[in-house]
Amino acid sequence: MLTEIRAYHLREQTGLTQAQLADRIGVGQCRVSKIERGDLEEDSKIGTIRLYLEAVGGHLSIEYVTDDQRTQVLVPNHTSRRHLQFVQAVSRS
């Protein structure tokens, strides 16, 4: 089962303001606001989103989805090796 949650709910659960979270991950408050609004088209980097999720106690997971297959792309954090591993999980829904 897939659970969806808005990014700002994750931040609120940690008790952080946008400004405090921005300080913690080294970006401006406006960047945190953009991430929470889903405004990721132009200038948001995966690394910034990863830092956001780690700051609220989680991690980043990326999936590549086709019609009948879901492939999880494991994104290394700052302590792991710098290559991506691909784990294939076939979804038959």
Across the range 12-19, mean pLDDT stands at: 94
**Cα-flanking dihedrals φ and ψ of residue 41, to 5°?**
-65, -55
- For the stretch 5-27, what's the b/e string if a residue is b when 16 or more beta carbons lie within 10 angstroms of its beta carbon? eebbebbeeeebebeebbebbeb
Residue 51 CA to its chain's centroid (Å): 8
Q: Distance between CA atoms of 54 and 92, rounded to whole angstroms?
A: 31
Domains along the sequence of the chain with CATH: 7-59 (1.10.260.40), 61-93 (no CATH)
* Digit-coded pLDDT (tens) for 35-55: 888 887 666 688 888 889 999
